[in-house]
Amino acid sequence: MSTREPDPRPDRGAYRPEGIDDSFSAPVATAEPPAEKPASGPADGQPSLPALGLRGTLRWTWRQLTSMRVALMLLMLLAVAAVPGSVLPQRPQDPAAVLRYLQDNPTAGEWLDRLGFFDVYSSVWFSAIYILLFVSLVGCILPRTGAHLRAVRNRPPRTPRRFDRFPAQATVVTTASPDEVTDAVARHLRGRFAWLPTFRVDTGTQETRSSGGPRVERTVAAERGYLRETGNLLFHLSLLGLLVAVATGQLLHYRGQAIITEGRGFANAVVDYDTFENGSLFSPSSLVPFSMTLDGFEAEFATDALAFAQSRDFTAFVTVRDPDGTEHVETIKVNHPLQAGNAKIYLQGNGYAPGITVHDASGEVAFSGRVPFLPEDTMYTSDGVVKVPDVAPGLEQIGLVGTLLPTAEVTEAGARSVFPEALDPLLVLDVYRGDLGLDEGLPQNVYTLDTDDLTASVDEEGERVKVLVAPGETVELPDGLGTITLDEELPRFVALDLRHDPALGWILVFALGALAGLTISLFTPRRRVWVRTWSEDGAAGDARPGTTSTGGTARRTVVQIAGLARGDDAGLQGEVDAVRHAVPGAEQSDGPAGTSHDSAGPHPQDRATGRGAGKADR
Amino acid sequence: MTLADLSVDLVWAAATALTVGLVAFAFDLARLAGRSPARATAVPAAVTSAESTEATTGSSPTPYGPDSTERAGSEGAPVSRKAAGIGISTTWLGTILLLAAIVTRGVAAGRAPWANMYEFALVGTFFALAVFLGVSLRRDVRYLGAFVTGLSVLFLVLAQNSFYVVATGVQPALQSYWLVIHVGVAVAATGIFTVAFATSAVQLLRDSRDGGSAFLGRRAWRWLDSTPRPAVLEALSFRINAVAFVLWTFTLIGGAIWAEDAWGRYWGWDPKEVWSFVVWIVYAAYLHARTTRGWSGRRAAYFVLVGYACVLFNFTGVNILFDGLHSYSGLPGQE
């Protein structure tokens, strides 16, 4: 993961101007030994691989792991490894689909299962990749953080002697003195805010030997973009924090699901949930003992022709009783979970739970209760099962499997639902008798009935008998099994999902930290600017540096500017040009000049004093 | 005529304008290719279509050194770029028409107009065009015009013919301001990735031609000599990709926040989430490859191609092939 930036153009026969022989360009010598496959590539240097010894081998392994190339490889592996999870059904998301897949592909399925392909994101190989990636990241980021903390206090590198090989340059002649130029340029580079200077600026004086003899030059050395590396480190450290936060959340979280019908409620206790799942460090005592009642549920569906029967709004009206006894009325909507007892309650599903009463052949009530029918399509054609084990002694147990049609349309082809709301409900049931297998003590899915050992009720032609029940009706079951009654009211149920993850806040903080770090590191330019300025005699034509003043010619100041950026930087020349414009008293050919009337004054030193020209163009 | 019908007509109008732009840009590239007197025999229209390169098979491939462009450019008289100007103008027109189509679509549906695959395609195309036009205000990227308008026309026609669904409201899970933010940013990122992809593709072609590729050395590819050096294209592609990558990162974060509210978990490895993650990883790998010795330049550009392929698959394949919570294409067979 590390961005060890080598020379920006390693393959283009890069020159290395003076002043960039450090992190800007230095090929951070990872000193990579030959790759594992000795055949691949010329083994440049380090032929002493066999003599590394244990410590050497460990160090070599560590260097490899934290090298950019391996990090890159791990990144690509991670991308590839993530793909099967979108192609194959996954246990955590859809266990039923995994079972179906295993039934359809017994041989391949078994092997895939053994290799963890049905739970890719918890599999050994997927975990191995991202853990290695994060180890590589730590190994790269920690040393870089240390180096950056030291580098942040560094001064800009001193002004190089020659500018002619830098990618961005400018030369300008001014009437202001070198000291004034230096001050103005430094002020311009530091920018408006003293507490957060754009550039870190050093000014100095150098004595150089030009062709004509020694000369005193004023210099400016400036560097900007320390934040770039800061952002980069912030990004990577935030990713690390994100991983730790997610893992912590996994250990401490819990999630419970409950199906509640209108008018009923549940208490926040592990036993009250239909399913409950928690992290290994979760303790049941941490559940806040509130309770909740579903007062009502409203669903809205589109009735226009364009989007007929599409859902438009779901609202659950609930009353929450806090542990201290206070009650308050709340609503839960999709996208608007309810906050209760430091957990969030989500509205995950809804449907109908008809109240069904079954009398057995002896006339006794064998079953009475609400049975949730799970909607299977947009018209809420809902499937459900009624298991009636508690018949009078000597009678066969009854199992009813069927469909609830909220707005039934019965034709010769069969019955179907034509609208999701309960406008004209009808219950269509198959009837089975025999041993339901409930007495064996094995847990069963309440929504399915294993009909293998049961006898179906058929008519004279061998067709299944369909029992149709409308609300308020009582209908005879076939084969004299008894009667079934459907309540007049058709209550709805809601599927609620209650979840608590204490790490959510931290996950958000680290995610936003990563975003901020990434943005800073990608968009902060890292640039260096140097200025060298000296004064010399004479007009431009016959100027001979070093000659002392010949009578009649004005002294003039030459300003040379050079810029260097890390990597490609389209704005570098613009930065240099801005510095050029900040030079006071310069003869500008374009853009706003620092001062007006440049070359007219016979005594430029006198008139330019104290001009705040450096700010002119920013 | 209802607003929804008007929107459909506006999309067709935009596609037409962009097709004109495509032809103009292609003509411009052909002119640039034929500007040197020695090569004046090139068939202008042959440049943009790959199959027409067969027409020029007879000419011997010429290897091009890195400096051949500058020399070739200085030889001939300055070439009129009138066609490119027409291309830019019609692209502006097409983009404005597309914007009008998107706005009318949003008004007709009564919500933000990027809630299904059809609308996603329209808005993504709009962003690709807008980025291209925005960049072209600041620098000369007319050589990208044929690619961007070509892809745009392709996307628009595909959307009209295969992804179209009627404008209507959305299901409760989509009724959130996060639809505007999360999907809006995702679609913007997709559009921007498109422009970066075109840039990297040109970079690779140019680089191969400079490197003496026999196929790309043919006359029909001579327009490549008028494009900037590969290093310049690489830098441009990186800048565009960097913006899109930040937006994509935000897409993942915004999506996680929304998923936490709507589905009760911030990350659940839904197929769309998996592929968004894959896209993010591939572009992250690209950013790292750029700064890795031996991986910068050409190799890094291949990451852009792979990344963009993943973006396209995430947008189309995941919606159509996989059953997941993000199946909002609105096409038959989808919930």
Q: Are B248 and B280 in contact (CB under 8 A)?
A: yes
pLDDT at B44 over 80: no
Q: Which of A7, A72, A257, A380 to mutate to test the interface with B (most CBs of B within 10 A)?
A: A72
Joined together, the tokens standing for residue B222 give 């001579």
CB contact under 8 A, A335 and B172: yes
Q: What pTM does this model have?
A: 0.80
Candidates B87, B93, B182; CA nearest to B142 is B87
Does the distance separating the beta carbons of A335 and B261 come in below 8 Å? yes
pLDDT at A15 over 70: no
pLDDT at residue A212, rounded to an integer? 64
Interchain pair A310, B249: CB under 8 A: no
Residue B327: per-residue pLDDT: 66
Q: Domain coordinates of chain B in residue numbers?
A: 1-39+84-165, 184-335
CA-to-CA dists, residue B68 to A12, A101, A131, B209, angstroms = 17, 59, 49, 11
Does residue A1 contact residue A133 with C-beta atoms inside 8 Å? yes
The pLDDT-based confidence of B69 (bands split at 50, 70, 90) is very low
**Contact (Cβ atoms closer than 8 angstroms) between residue A345 and residue A496:** yes
Q: Evaluate the CA torsion angle A202, A208, A210, A214 in order and state its sign.
A: positive
- Is the pLDDT confidence value at A538 over 80? no
**Interval A64-79: pLDDT, tens:** 888 888 889 999 999 9
Task: Give pLDDT, residue A51.
Answer: 66
Query: Which residues fall within 8 angstroms of residue A20, CB to CB, at 6 or more apart?
Result: A157, A528, A564
Stretch A1-9: mean pLDDT:
41
Q: What pLDDT is recorded for position B173? A: 75
Distance CA A167, CA A12 (A): 15
State how far the Cα of B187 lies from the Cα of B191, in Å rounded to an integer: 6
Q: Does residue A142 come out as left (phi exceeding 0), alpha (psi in the -120 to 50 range) or beta?
A: alpha
Across the interface, of B271, B296, B297, the residue whose CB is closest to A86 is B271
Q: Which residues of A392-414 are buried (b: 16+ CB within 10 A; e: fewer)?
A: eeebbbbbbbbbbbbbbeeeeee
Chain B residue numbers with beta carbons less than 8 Å from the beta carbon of A92 are 268-269
Question: Quick one: what percent of chain B has pLDDT higher than 90?
Answer: 49
The candidate with the shortest Cα–Cα distance to B223, out of B151, B297, B147, is B147
Q: Is pLDDT at A369 greater than 60 in this prediction?
A: yes
- Closest alpha carbon to A380 in A345, A422, A325: A422
> Of all residues in chain A, what percent carry a pLDDT higher than 90?
27
Q: What is the pLDDT of residues A205-228, one digit of tens each?
A: 888 776 666 788 889 999 988 888
Residue of higher predicted confidence among A231 and A17: A231
The pLDDT of residue A582 is: 87
A437-453 mean pLDDT: 77
Whether the pLDDT of residue B72 is over 80: the answer is no
Contact B334, B327 (CB under 8 A): yes
Predicted local distance difference test score (pLDDT) of residue B12? 95
Pairing of strands A455-456, A466-469: unpaired
What mean pLDDT is predicted for residues A549-567? 74
Q: State the complex-level ipTM.
A: 0.83
| pLDDT value of residue B331 | 61
Strand, coil or helix: what is A304?
coil
What end-to-end distance do the CA atoms of chain B give, in Å?
29
pLDDT of residue A7: 39
Question: How far from chain centre, in Å, is Cα A470?
Answer: 50
Under a CB-based contact definition with an 8 Å cutoff, are residues A234 and A215 in contact?
no
CB contact under 8 A, A92 and B269: yes
A42 pLDDT more than 60: no
Residue B60 DSSP code? P
Residue A481: which residues within 8 A CB-CB, separation 6 or more? Answer: A360, A361, A396, A398, A431, A433, A457
B313 in contact with A, Cβ within 8 Å: no
pLDDT > 60? residue B42: no
Give start and end residues of each alpha helix (H) in A354-449.
none
For residue range B276-299, list pLDDT tens digits in order.
Answer: 999 999 999 999 998 888 888 888
Distance CA B219, CA B59 (A): 7
Residues from chain A that touch B265, judged by Cβ atoms under 8 A, are: 499
Measured in degrees and rounded to the nearest 5, phi and psi for residue A534 equal -150, 165
What is the model's pLDDT at position B50? Answer: 39
What confidence score (pLDDT) does residue B78 get?
64
Task: For residue B242, list chain A residues with Cβ-Cβ distance below 8 A.
Answer: 522-523
Structure confidence at residue A600 (pLDDT): 34
Residue B308 has pLDDT above 90, yes or no: yes
Q: Does residue A308 sit at the B interface (CB-CB below 8 Å)?
A: no
Report which listed range, A246-255, A399-408, B304-313, B314-323, is most confident: B304-313
- The verdict on a CB contact (< 8 Å) between A75 and B285 is yes
**Mean pLDDT of the B211-223 span:** 82
Taking CB atoms and an 8 Å limit, are A72 and B295 in contact across chains?
A: yes
Amino acid in the structure at residue A298: E
For range A48-57, the mean pLDDT: 71
**For residue A450, what pLDDT is reported?**
82
What does the pLDDT average to over A231-252? 93
Distance CA B309, CA B313 (A): 6
What is the C-alpha separation between A384 and A430, in angstroms, rounded? 11
Q: In this structure, are residues A405 and A416 in contact, taking their beta carbons and an 8 Å threshold? A: yes
Q: Which amino acid is it at A518? A: L
Look up the CATH number of domain B1-39+84-165.
1.20.120
* Both structure tokens of A579: 């510095």
For the cut 90, the answer to whether the pLDDT of residue B228 exceeds it is no
A241 vs B40, residue with greater confidence: A241
> How does DSSP classify residue A356?
E
Closest to A242 in 3D by CA, of A515, A521, A509? A509
Confidence of residue B32 (pLDDT cuts 50, 70, 90): confident
**How close, in Å, is residue B242 to chain A by CA atoms?**
7
pLDDT of B240 higher than 50: yes
What residues contact residue B107 under an 8 Å CB cut-off, 6+ apart?
A: B3
Residues in chain B: 335
Q: Does B239 touch chain A (CB under 8 A)?
A: yes
Residue of A195, A196, A175, A199 whose CA lies nearest to A185: A199
Q: Which of B65, B39, B70, B44 is nearest to B55 (CA)?
A: B44
Q: Is the pLDDT of residue A399 over 60?
A: yes
- How many pairs of residues across A and B have Cβ atoms under 8 Å apart? 143
Instruction: Give how far B55 is from chain A: nearest CA, Å.
Output: 36
Least confident range of A25-29, A147-151, A349-353, B59-63: B59-63
| Mean of all residue pLDDT scores within chain A | 80
The pLDDT, as a whole number, for residue B332 is 55
Contact status of A310 with chain B (Cβ, < 8 Å): yes
In this complex, do A72 and B292 lie within 8 Å of one another by their Cβ atoms?
yes
